[in-house]
Each structure stands twice: as structure tokens, then as C-alpha cells.
């Protein structure tokens, strides 16, 4: 699919902007972890680049992307299969942890099949993410005395409160969603549906954000 469509500059632009956002809004990390990261980076890059090198995408090179894609073929792939049902065919043991494993060549007929497989119509690139900000300037606060969230939307489907941060002044937001159900009984498939809603929401709004997303469920009768 990627080979047939070719490189997309909008994908590059989105990735570049997400790295810029992560650099500008990076949270304070554990000192020991940060030092370890810098020490490793100093071995690979000039000292003037060590703080930002992990967040830099300086040049769009579609020809390089195409070159890498052309090297991704079934006859160059490595497949890792993990499962207890393969315990009877392993013939080697890892030195330190005692993990059982084995190496096997992929059958040529399987590789040939993969090399000639067609495109899957269900696979496609996602559309451009309209939620990625390109202006990180924080808007001025209209009311410095506001200390409680205000309702900005109230209809039959939702009620939304909003409170602008006036202390840290960072281009970040905290979202809290509560889904209510008229009945106090929640079945397994309904929980799966809620999980799917959360996954889609995080995938759209929080794409590229390295922080964790927590989920709490409340059953309201």
C-alpha cells in the first residue's frame, strides 16, 4: 500500500510538528533517566545537538523513504512467534534468563506467497489530523477571577464545562469524559463499546502524545 501510494509530505509535516510540540512542552523527567539519555546521545551527535536531536526532522526526502520501502520485502523479513504451544519444538536456551527458543527458516513457498500477495482494500493511511496545533501561543485569559468551570454547552446529548488555566500558561489541556447510561446494568459488549470509543478518541485527539491516558468507569442509575 505504501509503495503504491508513495511518500506523503503531509505525513512528514505532521510528524515534524508533533516532535516540535513534544520538545516545546516536554515534562520534567527523572534526573537519572535524563542523564543516561544525554550520555548516550553524546556518543552519537555533536554536543550542540544533544538536547534536540531526538525531536528534529530537518529535511523532507521522499526518495529516501521510497528507497527504504523498496527494501521491505517478504524475503528479508523476520517473524517472531511467541506461545506456549511451541514449547515442544524449541532447541535452544537463553543464557541469562533460561528462555527456550529456536530459529527456523521461513519455507520458500510461504515467502513466494507473501511476495505475490495483493493489496488489502481495508488498509489505508489515516486522513490528516486536523487537531494537531501549529500555533502554540496561549490565548489571553478573559477573566482572571474565574475559579470554577463554566458550562459552555448544554443539550440533550452532552454538558460541557470549561476552565482556562491561568497558572502554568502552557498550551496543554486536561480532558475528563463521563459516559452515563440510564440503566445501572452494563453488559460485557457495552464495556467493549466504551473501550472502543475511548480508543478512537485518544487516537484522534491525542495522536503522538507520549503521556499515558487513564480511564475510569462510573455506573450511574
**Stretch 174-187: mean pLDDT, rounded?**
70
**Cα–Cα distance, 93 to 118 (Å, whole number):** 38
**Cα–Cα distance, 126 to 128 (Å, whole number):** 7
State the pLDDT at residue 47. 93
Cα-Cα-Cα-Cα dihedral of 190, 193, 199, 203, to 10°?
Answer: -150
pLDDT digits (tens, 9 = 90+) for 197-210: 778 777 766 554 44
Q: What range does the domain containing 49 cover?
A: 2-115
Both 108 and 143 in one domain: the answer is no
Using CA atoms, how far residue 58 sits from 17, 26, 163, in Å, is 11, 19, 37
**Number of folded domains that form the chain:** 2
Do 102 and 89 contact (CB within 8 A), yes or no? yes
**Stretch 161-186: mean pLDDT, rounded?**
76
Higher per-residue pLDDT: 121 or 102 = 102
Among residues of the chain, what percentage have pLDDT more than 70? 87
Average pLDDT value for the chain: 84
Both 12 and 107 in one domain: the answer is yes
pLDDT digits (tens, 9 = 90+) for 132-154: 989 888 888 777 777 888 899 99
Residue 18: how many CB atoms within 10 A of its CB? 19
Higher per-residue pLDDT: 181 or 168 = 168
State the pLDDT at residue 221. 35
Both 91 and 177 in one domain: the answer is no
Higher per-residue pLDDT: 11 or 25 = 11
Both 46 and 104 in one domain: the answer is yes
Both 108 and 20 in one domain: the answer is yes
Both 95 and 198 in one domain: the answer is no
**Cα–Cα distance, 192 to 198 (Å, whole number):** 10
Q: How confident is the model at residue 188 (pLDDT cuts 50, 70, 90)?
A: low
Do 178 and 218 contact (CB within 8 A), yes or no? yes
The answer to whether position 132 is within a domain reads: no
Both 70 and 153 in one domain: the answer is no
Both 101 and 161 in one domain: the answer is no
Amino acid at each position: 500500500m505504501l509503495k503504491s501510494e508513495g511518500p506523503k509530505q503531509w505525513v512528514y509535516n505532521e510528524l515534524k510538528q508533533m516532535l516540535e510540540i513534544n520538545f516545546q512542552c516536554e515534562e520534567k523527567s527523572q534526573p537519572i533517566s535524563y542523564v543516561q539519555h544525554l550520555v548516550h546521545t553524546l556518543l552519537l551527535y555533536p554536543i550542540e545537538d544533544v538536547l534536540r536531536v531526538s525531536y528534529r526532522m530537518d529535511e523532507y526526502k521522499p526518495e529516501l523513504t521510497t528507497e527504504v520501502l523498496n527494501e521491505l520485502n517478504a524475503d528479508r523479513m523476520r517473524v517472531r512467534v511467541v506461545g506456549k504451544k511451541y514449547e515442544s519444538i524449541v532447541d535452544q536456551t537463553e543464557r541469562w534468563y533460561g528462555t527456550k527458543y529456536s530459529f527456523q527458516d521461513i519455507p520458500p513457498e510461504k515467502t513466494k506467497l507473501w511476495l505475490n500477495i495483493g493489496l488489502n482494500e481495508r488498509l489505508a493511511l489515516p486522513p490528516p489530523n486536523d487537531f494537531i496545533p501549529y500555533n502554540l501561543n496561549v490565548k489571553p485569559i478573559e477573566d482572571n477571577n474565574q475559579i470554577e468551570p463554566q458550562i459552555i454547552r448544554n443539550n440533550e446529548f452532552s454538558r460541557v464545562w470549561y476552565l482556562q488555566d491561568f497558572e502554568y500558561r502552557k498550551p496543554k489541556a486536561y480532558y475528563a469524559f463521563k459516559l452515563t447510561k440510564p440503566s445501572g446494568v452494563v453488559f460485557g459488549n457495552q464495556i467493549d463499546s466504551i473501550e472502543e470509543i475511548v480508543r478512537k478518541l485518544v487516537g484522534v485527539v491525542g495522536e503522538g502524545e507520549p503521556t499515558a491516558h487513564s480511564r475510569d468507569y462510573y455506573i450511574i442509575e
